Amino acid sequence: MSGLKTRFDEGASRRLVDVVESWNGLHLSSNSPIANAADFRSSMVPSVAPTNIILLGTNLGATGAVGYDALVGRTIQVWASAAAATANGSAAVSSFTVPMGRRFALAGAIPLALLPPLRRYRVDFLPRVTVAGAAELVCGLGEVIGGLVNGNNPAFMWSSRLGTNAGRWMPRYRLVAAGAVTDGPDSGVAPANFHQCSLVYEEGLTPRVRWLVDGAELLQLAGDAFMATIATTAQFLLTKGLSAPVGTTVQFAETRFRCEEL
């Protein structure tokens, strides 16, 4: 499947969680992940102090800095080119994960009528690449330190690599630990400007993963065969990563995470 589809319609749903990195006047403005406080729009979030709500895990490698950018007109996070730095990415600490390992159609599965309502999980990233190097920039679901080439964990990512499609955003995923990485279609969307790169996971007898760019669906995987699991936890972290910070500079606006009943 290639080419952007019409805008994804979420339909009627009951919002359970809606959180956003709060660099622009909501709570705190630190680059430290422990200060990635959230804007809580429901009571269905952990009852802890805002500084203990972590949207993305601890950054490893070139952690960058958060600051006001007069040309953008808001506070953003910058991962600047750093010759001595290792791969940058989110470590395994987050208040929010996505339970993609659940199965609903297996012979021994619990009947849907006995379960809570099915849920949809969505994460929206707002990145742009201001200096393009040879690194891979990713954002999506799965514990990946750096790019997909830097680890072996299953993951569902938006990826930008200068050597592939001139760096235009494309879906990439790994379904099995230490397995092959599959490339999706070229979105035609260059990373030089801010674009919304989203991953959506929907529970159901036929579970689905969707890649959206600026709200339009580019790729969809459907069925248990495409719903990878991570050993023991069967959960996927919210992740952004850079395989090698040398020669690459990336800016991120606030990441947003939502969970709602279908």
Reported as a single tens digit per residue, the pLDDT across 197-252 is 999 999 999 999 999 999 999 999 999 999 988 766 556 888 888 888 788 899 99
Q: Parse the chain into domains and list their residue ranges.
A: 14-261
pLDDT single digits (tens) 61-120: 666 788 889 999 998 988 888 766 666 666 566 778 898 888 898 899 999 999 999 999
Over pLDDT 90: what percentage of the chain?
Answer: 42
pLDDT single digits (tens) 122-155: 999 999 999 998 889 999 998 877 788 767 889 9
Select the more confidently predicted residue: 27 or 128.
Answer: 128
User: Is domain 14-261 classified as CATH 2.60.120.200?
Assistant: yes
Three-state secondary-structure class, residue 165: helix
Three-state secondary-structure class, residue 48: coil
Say what the pLDDT of residue 79 is.
87
Q: Is 53 exposed, middle or buried (0-12, 13-18, 19+ CB in 10 A)?
A: buried
As a whole number, mean pLDDT of residues 153-170 equals 94
Select the more confidently predicted residue: 94 or 193.
Answer: 193
Say what the pLDDT of residue 3 is.
63
Q: Concatenated DSSP letters for 114-128?
A: GSPPPEEEEEEE-EE
How many beta carbons lie within 10 A of that of residue 71, not counting itself? 4
Say what the pLDDT of residue 184 is.
97
Say what the pLDDT of residue 1 is.
45
pTM value is 0.88
Q: pLDDT at residue 42 above 60? A: no
Over pLDDT 70: what percentage of the chain?
Answer: 76
